[in-house]
Structures are given as C-alpha cells and as structure tokens.
Amino acid sequence: MARKQLFTDKTITALHSDILSDPLTDGLSIEAKAGSLVWRYHRRIAGTAAAVRLRLGAYPLHSIACARLWAAGLNTMVEQGIDPREAQKASKAAGMALEAAWNLYWSDVQAGVRKVLKPRTLADKKAAWLADIKPYLGETILSEITADDLWQIVERKSDTAPVRANRLAAELKVIWSWFSSRAGQRAGIRLSNDASSSLSGKHYTESKGRTRILSEEEIGWFAASAAIERPAYHRALILMLLTGCRFSEVVEARRGEYRDGVWTVPATRTKNGKAHAIMLGGWGRELFEQATGQWLAPNRAGGLVEQPNWYRVRDRVHARMEALAGRPLHRWGFHDLRRTMRSNTFRLGIRYEVAEAMLNHSRTGLERRYDVGDLSDYTGEGFARWEALVASLGVNTLCDTSKY
C-alpha cells in the first residue's frame, strides 16, 4: 500500500494557522499566517553554531517544485559550511558599479555618522565625483577597477591642475578606505583589494604659496579700472578688496544677506562653516544698496555670472591697470585682493586678533578655547580704516580714459 503524501497542494491550501515542514527537503517549510502562505527556510550551518533563516515568498506564486529547488541550493551550501546570506552579498557586491557604491558612501558621509563635515567640504567632495570620477569610472564594476584606472584619472587632472590632482588622489583614497571599512561592509560592499593603495595626496610637487599683493599705486589703478566695468562687476570687485572676502563669498552673495549696514555671509558659504558678519563702511554700504535683484552681482538675465566670465573681467581690469601704469604689471588673482587687505592691517594699526577676525579665520589652540569675546565693534573700525585708505588711493589716481 502506497504511503500517503502529506505535502501536496491540497494539504497546503488546507493549512490555516500552522507550519508544515516538507518531509522530502531538509529545512523547507510553509507557514500559514494572517491569511497568507509563506515559504521559509531554517537550518543550521554545518560545523558552526549559526543558523540560516530565510524566506522565499508566497504560495502559490512560488510552487512546491520552485520552493524545493530553492531550498536544495541552500542545503548544498549549508552542508559545506557556507552561509548562503554571505554568498548572496558577495554575489551582489561583485556586480556593483562604482556609482552605486559611491551613493552608499555619500549617504554615510551626509549622515555625519563618524564626522560632521562642513558644507564647503561636502560641496568639494561632490564636485570631484561629478567632474573627475563619475564620467570615467561611474559605470565600471567596482571589483574590476584597478590602480591603473585610478591613476589615469589623477594623471588626467594633473595635466592642467597638479594641486587639484593631489586632492583628487586623496579623495579617492578616502572613498576606497570607506569601501573597505566596517561601514562599507555593512552596506554590502565587498573588496578583495584596495585599488587606491598606491595613490598619494602629495604625488605632485605643489608650487609655493602666492605672495602677490597690490601696491598703493596698484590699488588706485585697480579702483579706477574696476569703475569702468558694469555696475554689477564693479560692486563685486571693490567689495572683494574692501572686505577681504573670498571670491565665491562675494560673487554668490545675495542682496538679502545685507541689512542695516551689515553684510552677513551665512555659515553655509564660508570656508570654516561659521557665519561672517561684516560691518561695512559708507562705500561698501552704498555698493550693496545699489543692487536691485536677488544677487549682489547678477548677469544681464538676473542670474549668477558664470565663473569663466569673472576671469575675463579680471583680465580687462588688469589691462586697464597696465595702461594707467604705462608698463607691464605682475598678474594678480582674486585671492590676492584678500591678501592685500590683510597685509595692510598692521600699517593701519589693526591688532592681529582683529585682523584675523576681519577675514573670518578660525582661532587655533588655546585661542579657540579662551578668546571667545565679540570683536564686531573692533572689526567694524578696522574695515572703516581700510576703506578710507582704498578710497583715498582711488580718488588720487588720475584716470586717463584715452588710454583705453
């Protein structure tokens, strides 16, 4: 007499609130719960104390034959001491593209789990990914990326910007370090080798820091030459010199940041992540109050001026300065205007601490812990002294417009 089969479609559909094990397949069972029938697998891994608990899905979407085939594959692994869950993760990781892995890294960075980064640092990291990494390796399988692949994008950057190439190499090392970290493993990334191990953030020799500042004559020529530009450009150029603010802090300034004679650069736009309040003198206030749109220095359409256009403005101003001087002048950059302001604070009798506060430099060491007083009154006086000097030099410059 044939033995009665207890594990059939009929017996499964009759199940209402119980678990029925498959007598022919180790570890496989079906559970009736809340009106649904779900396939489950539970079995101890050979040679370990760990057990595997997995769920396939619902019946009858997955038939008995399908469930038995699924469980048979799991049994093959657990009987060999292999954890099917780890094998599944490794299989998924093996096919993961760099872009998918970077998105996991970026989510962790933005969450600030290990370290809260400043907005500017986050922006720099994302810019490096979008401009220098994603276009060349974004779709490449992470496990297939080699050291040569990473060196190629670093060397490509070094052709035009060796300093930024060093920073790119350092960022790649940070990214790959995260991939290999515990956080990366928990996110499902599995790397057998570190492709970034040979990279160095100091591979290319960096030029010595710039020391260019504008002399008194050049300050006068600069003020006179900038006055010929469009009002929006003129406002930005003069405010760079008067306030010593960084290029991006000025050209991306919103008119709403100015109120009652004080321009406050928000923390999201400063390098040290701290808001910078600048008590403007009469000239600076006049320049800010001339703006009528959303931005301090908009283009003709009312939006932000693209960065390449600012360098064309700089070149035009420099050419006018040379015409006034009657001789070639050393090239200058926007950051040199900031250095010029700082280098003149001593001669104006401005104390070191006040001068540093005027530039929104972060205090270091014990100063950061103990020098916490408000220096706004002193910085306001410092800006006023500097503005008066610049104004006098500009007024005293003879502008021979025939030279243009």
Residue 143 in contact with residue 94, Cβ under 8 Å? yes
Report the alpha-carbon distance of residue 39 to residue 53 in Å, rounded.
11
pTM value?
Answer: 0.63
Dump pLDDT digits (tens) for 196-207. 999 988 888 776
Instruction: Identify the residue whose tokens are 């820091």.
Output: 209
Arithmetic mean of pLDDT, 150-160: 92
Which residues share a beta bridge with 33?
36
Q: Which residues contact 154 (CB under 8 A, 6 or more apart)?
A: 165, 168, 169, 172, 199, 203
Q: Is the omega angle on the peptide bond into residue 231 within 30 degrees of 0, that is, cis?
A: no
Query: Starting at the edge strand that comes first in sequence, how are the strands of the sheet with 258-259 ordered?
Result: 258-259, 262-265, 276-279
Backbone CA torsion sign across 341, 346, 352, 354: negative
Q: Which helix (H) or strand (E) holds 167?
A: helix 162-180
Each residue's pLDDT tens digit, 89-135 = 766 666 788 998 899 889 888 888 778 888 888 889 999 999 999 99
pLDDT of 400 above 50: no
Residue 199 tokens, joined:
């990279």
Q: Is the pLDDT of residue 1 over 60?
A: no
pLDDT in the model for residue 239: 97
Closest CA to 200 of 168, 223, 178, 161: 168
Question: What does the pLDDT look like over 244-294, one tens digit per residue?
Answer: 999 999 999 999 999 999 999 999 889 888 899 999 999 999 999 999 889
pLDDT exceeds 70 at position 362: yes
Distance CA 71, CA 228 (A): 80
- What is the average per-residue pLDDT within 47-58? 86
User: Predicted confidence band at 170 (pLDDT cuts at 50, 70, 90)?
Assistant: very high
The encoded tokens of residue 250 equal 């000025």
For residue 94, the SS3 value is helix
How far apart CA 280 and CA 259 sit, in angstroms, is 10
Is the four-CA dihedral 2, 4, 5, 11 of positive or negative sign? positive
Contact 203, 156 (CB under 8 A): no
Q: At what angle do helices 119-128 and 162-180 cross, to 10 degrees?
A: 100
R_g over Cα of the chain: 33
The helix (H) or strand (E) run that includes residue 183 is: helix 182-186
CB atoms within 10 A of CB 190: 18
